[in-house]
Structure 1
Amino acid sequence: MATETPSRSAETLTPAPSTPSGLQQAKLFRIYNHYRLVVSLMLVALLFVDPINFDTRFRLHDYYQAGVSAYLALNAFIALLLVAGFHPSQRHITLSILMDILIMHGLLLTSTGITNGLANLVIVSVAAGNILTPSRMGTFYAALAAICSLGISGWAVLTLGESADDIVRAGSLGILYFAAAFVLQNISRRMMRSEALATSRARSIAELEQINQQIIQRMRTGILVLDRYGHIRLANAAAEELLYGAPKASAPFRDYATVLPKPLKLGLEAWLKDPTRRIEPFQPSSTSPLLQANFTQLDQERGDHILVFIEDMSKVTQQAQQMKLASLGRLTAGIAHEIRNPLGAISHAAQLMEEAPDLEPGDRQMLGIIRRHSRRVNGIIENVLDLSRRRAAHADLIEVGPWLQEFREDFLQTQDEHCTAANIVLKIDPQLPPARFDKSQIEQVMVNLCDNGLRYSEQHSGQRTIGIHAGATDDRERAYIDVRDQGPGIAPENRNSVFEPFFTTDKSGTGLGLYLARELCEANQAHLSLIEDDQPGCCFRITFAHPGRMI
């Protein structure tokens, strides 16, 4: 086990070519090869400086010239491979260092021996080898260089009668080789450990940043980052959906280049003048919910960026209304049978009195009022009980066009009992995106909107006619349905109250129909809104959520 541990640790310190450390190692090898190419060019150039003295001083001049030329050719070939995109592996680097050490000692052998200045270049090769491969292989480079140096010196002393000082010089060079190996190995190991730690921490930071971005994207609170001039720098999906109707299909928390809605722009200007001021709730468009924006400085020292939190006020209002209706539902459920018993007796008595043959017209009119209001009270009880017993939505991915055609046919079949035939003009745009919703719940919403539209159209124009239009939003990713009647429309002072519970302008209505319709839409992540335009009548729009969003 003791002999395996160093090799395993050495392997862990040897990076793969595909890792960041491996890429850094390949880059260092390119630099080292440039150095070798320059050295080999200089050695070839020196052959032409004083060729006569080279012949007298060098031991094997012809072999030296051939070795220098071959060294230049080898380095040039490797340089061309690197330029062509060759990625050297660990064994290529090891082989190159070994060849450098052997070639350099071959040049020392054929030149003037260990006293030649080329011996100093061997130190550079050993140092480079320990930087590129900081393992036991680096020690082998130093040992090989030391053995070669001592071998050349010993051969020169024994065969050429050189001074024994060459052996001492070779031993000194061997000490330098090992010293360079040990020092550089230690430094390289520390650098690689530091790089590995930095890479690990950078990966952790990147993962945390990605998690934070996903959390921010999934938040129901809209988040904007603005500069002091109101330009949007960053926006999450909730902010895009609340302000502009739908999030864009792009990278999370991306750079944004959309103009700030005018109400929010005015609120920002007011807040910049008085940071303690809380702006009023606003609507970016007629189909948007009521929003509340809160501002804060993102950088307290510089104050360059402003962080904006956007809350959907309709959610808070709906929660309060749901609490109120839940209490009312419990109360109604408790006393429903107490109310229905006398209410049924009153209605039955009025029906019996209507059957009397000698009933006066005035009395018959009074009995009609009693029966009509009895039905109204019973309807209020039924609607409140429906609100308190509302089940969760079970959504499916629906093709809106075929579903609307089927709904129109089924709805018209239920209108045969009326003396005036109902007319529904259906328009479906091409390439309509699908929508995800609960058929039964959205059908209940459509029945309520169509009944109201037909009733008000008949009261205003004498014709039971409405129009249904299915289209796509501007981003072509979400579907919507418009229900438009031919009635008198809604007065401007009542537009903000039509979805409130128990609000009605019809004496026979309960004021819960539109409220219940909006609640059912919200349960399906759709939005029911009143469209304000210049066309006659009244138009309600159901805007569905993106089909990729799960309910």
Structure 2
Amino acid sequence: MAVDKPSLAGPALQSPTLPQQAKLFRIYNHYRLVVSIMLLALLLIDPVNFDSQFRLPDYYLTGAAGYLGLNAFIALIIVAGFQPNRRHIILSILLDILIIHWLLFTSTGITNGLANLVIISIAAGNILTPTRVGTFYAALAALCSLGISGWATLVLDASADDLVRAGSLGILYFAAAFTLQYVSRRMMRSEALASSRARSLEELEQINKQIIQRMRTGILVLDRHGQIRLVNAAAEELLFGTPSSPNQQLPPSRVLPQPLKLGLEAWIRNPGQRIEPFQPFPTSPRLQANFTELDVSRKDHILVFIEDIGKVTQQAQQMKLASLGRLTAGIAHEIRNPLGAISHAAQLMEESPTLSEGDHRMLDIIRRHSRRVNGIIENVLDLSRRQVAQADQIDLSDWLQEFVSDYLQTQDGDRASATIDLTFDDDLPPARFDKSQFEQVMINLCDNGLRYSHQKTGRYSVKIHAGTSADGERSYIDIRDEGPGIDPEQKSSVFEPFFTTDKSGTGLGLYLARELCESNQAHLSVLDDAQPGCCFRITFAHPGRLI
């Protein structure tokens, strides 16, 4: 977005805006109202000298009363909400000049001190309308002053000094007009430049706000007590799961997650320390926080960068798989060949007609454990053969319905009666995941759920629910079984390799599922919602913020 910069030659001059003109004119009218009241008050104070000294006292009284009435009327309509425009202001200034000269003409002439009021009217006119009209005000006032002096000299035999005084006043009128026009132009130029720079700063501020709000990195500004002063949408989503809109006020009850607060306290004690990755809540991705002083001199605010380490985890997974691939090559050669020989020997022994019942039980143990070892090797080989995730955008409602249908058709034996209860919210956000890996994760979780449901209830049943996160921008899937659940002390170990509570399991299913989720920047977790059975939740990354 381009930002207009102020020109070196200065912005174009403009007259004061209408609100400014109205405000200034209101002040000027208050001045005129006070002056007109004082003019009438002076007549009441000394009425004797008024009749003896003034040329046309009755006309003077009429002019002063009319001037007061005019100013009072303008004041009333302004109070009522009338907004004068440029034409009204010009007309008011012209009437001022003419009325004051009328008062000069009907009083003692140009020598009267009222002539000084003309200078104020010309000055006000050049401030309110700093254009060529201001010069016209001065010209009109000079002509009126010269006309009054010339009439007094010719008709009333007044001294010629009145003409000199009128000429001097004319010079003052033009000097006031030109001076105020110059000052007004300088002020308008400065105001226009300040306004242009203010607009540029406001546009830059808006751009910065948009950039900060749309950044994928979370940004917080904290005080040294951990109180949040500023937070962008990414930080809201990563730390609290519910980002607010850019114009929404931060909830006053919003506090830092405990792991981040502890990390802040540790960083304040030792600024060189880097805190460990943390999870603000069980279903969130692992985050990394970096702290720095916002103002080194004041040291009262701390800038925090919050990053989803999904990309780093993804790269670590690839390195882990490379190492695992080299390991499994040796496993396939060193273990599967002897294992095949053991299985073959067991088959040959089973064909012997002289085996006792105890020997058959021993052979059954050999076969079962050979199959289990072979299953472990197959799972490890699957990990090493896995390709880099090729994420596709998935419509979860359509994909899940197709998956459930295909999955149930592949079940045989006792599992042929398996049931899966599928529900999902309306308007699910899309998910990004490698479809083949997503299918593998769902198969592992469904197999796991059916097995544990059957152990407790005797039925093969699983519930799958696809929902939308609180911010309305991410989706998740819950896979819930009817089994005995997981002991609290074992929840931290369920995703470790080779950990299992089922004697026939390999302990690699959940480990493989989490590895696949992390490779796609999703997060697999055990949901602790105090409901029967066990629930695993896949929380997908924001489709627009994938790294």
TM beyond 0.5: yes
Q: Which residue does the alignment assign to 1:241?
A: 237
Note if contact 2:453-2:482 (Cα within 8 Å) is conserved in structure 1. yes
Q: Which residue of 2 aligns with 1:5?
A: none
Distance 2:71 2:218 in 1: 61
Which residue is 2:393 aligned to?
A: 394
Counterparts of 2:204 and 2:179, CA distance in 1: 37
- CA distance in structure 2 between the aligned counterparts of 1:209 and 1:499, rounded to whole angstroms: 46
Q: Report the equivalent of 2:430.
A: 436
The residue that corresponds to 1:273 in the other structure is: 269
Cα deviation digits, residues 459-487 of structure 1 (max 9, x gap): 56543222234555556776543212234
Secondary structure at 2:229 match in 1: strand
Q: Is residue 217 from structure 1 mapped to residue 216 from structure 2 by the alignment?
A: no
Match of 1:74 in 2: 70
Distance (Å, rounded) in 2 between the aligned partners of 1:138 and 1:289: 70
After superposition, the C-alpha distances for 1:34-60 in whole angstroms (9 at most, x for unaligned) are: 111211222222232222322222222
Compared with structure 1, are the counterparts of its residues 471 and 379 closer, same or farther at alpha carbon in structure 2 (3 Å cutoff)? closer
Q: How does 1:255-404 map to 2 (within 5 A)?
A: 257-325=253-321, 385=385, 387-388=387-388, 390-394=389-393
Structure 1 residue 415 displacement after superposition = 3.4
Q: How far off its partner does 1:170 sit? A: 0.8
| DSSP-derived class of the 1:179 partner | helix
The number of residues matched between the two structures is 524
* Structure 1 residue 427 displacement after superposition: 5.5
Deviations along 1:162-212, one digit per CA (max 9) or x if unpaired, are 111111111111111111112111111111111111111111111111111
Deviation string, structure 1 residues 374-424 (Cα, Å, up to 9, x no partner): 787666656655532x3332355x7x5x87667655543443665451123
- Whichever residue aligns with residue 514 of structure 2, its letter is Y
Residue 327 (structure 1) shift: 8.4
Counterpart contact for 2:465–2:479, Cα < 8 Å: yes
1:437 CA displacement: 2.5
Match of 2:187 in 1: 191
Q: Is the 8 A contact 2:279 2:287 kept in 1?
A: yes
Indicate conservation of the 8 Å contact 2:239/2:280, yes or no.
Answer: yes
Q: CA distance change for structure 1 residues 73 and 325 in 2, over 3 Å: closer, same or farther?
A: farther
What's the TM-score, normalizing by structure 2?
Answer: 0.80
Q: Deviations 1:137-161 (Å, cap 9, x if unpaired)?
A: 2222111211111111111111221
Residues 269-289 of structure 1 show CA distances to partners (whole Å, capped at 9, x for unaligned) of 333334343333322221122
Q: Distance in 2 between matches of 1:33 and 1:237?
A: 52
Please give the alpha-carbon distance, in whole angstroms, between the structure 2 residues aligned to 1:395 and 1:78: 71
**CA-CA distance at 1:316 after TM superposition:** 2.0
Residues 1:259 and 1:375: Cα distance change in structure 2 (over 3 Å): closer
- Partner residue, 2:203: 207
- Determine if the alignment matches structure 1 residue 103 to structure 2 residue 99: yes
1:412 to 405, 408, 425: 408
Q: Choose 479-488 or 44-53, whichever is displaced more.
A: 479-488
Aligned to 1:6: none
Q: Name the amino acid aligned to 2:213.
A: Q
C-alpha distance in 1, partners of 2:237/2:458?
Answer: 40
**Number of the residue aligned with 2:15:** 15
Aligned residues of 2:454 and 2:460 also touching (Cα < 8 A): yes
1:53-84 deviations in whole A, cap 9, x for unaligned? 22222222222222222222222222222222
Q: Return the offset for 1:98.
A: 1.7
2:45 counterpart SS class: coil
Label 1:547 to 1:103 Cα distance change in 2 as closer, same or farther (>3 A): farther
For 1:4, the equivalent position in structure 2 comes to none
Mind listing any 5+ residue stretches in structure 1 that lack a counterpart?
Answer: 1-8
* Structure 1 contact 213–252 (Cα < 8 Å) conserved: no
Q: Distance in 2 between matches of 1:96 and 1:228?
A: 60
Distance in 1 (alpha carbons) for counterparts of 2:401 and 2:367: 42
Q: How far apart, CA to CA, are the structure 2 residues paired with 1:78 and 1:30? A: 9
Match of 1:150 among 146, 152, 163: 146
**After the TM superposition, which of the residue ranges 373-382 and 23-32 deviates more from structure 2?**
373-382
Give secondary structure in 2 for the equivalent of 1:13.
Answer: coil
Partners of 1:483 and 1:383 in 2: CA distance: 22
Q: Which amino acid aligns with 1:267?
A: G
Asked whether the 8 Å contact 1:139–1:182 carries over to 2, the reply is yes
Tell me which of 113, 125, 128 is aligned to 2:124: 128
Query: Following the alignment from structure 1 to structure 2, what is the Cα–Cα distance between the partners of residues 477 and 268?
Result: 29
TM-score for the superposition, normalised by structure 1: 0.79
State the 1:27 CA deviation: 1.7
Other structure's SS at 1:528 match: strand
| Residues 60 and 463 of structure 1: CA distance in aligned 2, closer, same or farther (over 3 Å) | same
Q: 2:393, 2:430 within 8 Å by CA — same for their partners in 1?
A: no
Q: 1:503 deviation in Å?
A: 6.2
Distance 1:482 1:92, change over 3 A: same
Task: Show the 5 A alignment for 1:461-540.
Answer: 462-471=458-467, 473=469, 479-487=475-483, 489=485, 495=491, 505=500, 506-507=505-506, 509=508, 513-515=512-514, 517-519=516-518, 522=521, 527-540=523-536
Match of 2:109 among 96, 107, 113: 113
Report if the CA contact (8 A) 2:432-2:541 is conserved.
no
Is 1:90 the counterpart of 2:89? The answer is no
Identity value in percent: 61
CA contact under 8 A between 1:217 and 1:237: conserved in structure 2?
A: yes
Provide, for residues 87-115 of structure 1, a one-character-per-residue CA deviation record: whole Å limited to 9, x for no partner. 22222222222221122112211221111
The aligned amino acid for 2:214 is R
For the structure 1 residues 517 and 458, does the alpha-carbon distance in structure 2 shift closer, same or farther, using more than 3 Å as the test?
Answer: farther
Q: 1:260 to 1:300 in 2, by over 3 A?
A: same
Give, in whole Å, the separation in 1 of the partners of 2:323 and 2:90. Answer: 81
Alpha-carbon separation, structure 2, partners of 1:268 and 1:516: 30
The structural deviation recorded for 1:125 is: 0.7
Corresponding letter in the other structure for 1:172: S
Question: Residues 324, 93 of structure 1: CA spacing in aligned structure 2 closer, same or farther, 3 A cutoff?
Answer: farther
Change (3 A) 1:448 1:162: farther
Partner Cα separation in structure 2 for residue 318 and residue 45 of structure 1? 91
* Structure 2 CA distance for aligned equivalents of residues 66 and 503 of structure 1: 110
Task: Report if aligned partners of 2:517, 2:523 keep a CA contact under 8 Å in 1.
Answer: yes
Distance 1:236 1:212 in 2: 11
SS of equivalent to 1:59: coil
Rounded to whole Å, the distance in 2 between the matches of 1:200 and 1:326 is: 59
Distance in 1, matches of 2:470 and 2:202, equals: 34
Q: CA shift at 1:509, angstroms? A: 4.8
Pair 264,120 (structure 1): closer, same or farther in 2 beyond 3 Å: same
Distance 1:128 1:461, change over 3 A: same
CA distance in 2: counterparts of 1:70 and 1:416, whole angstroms: 108
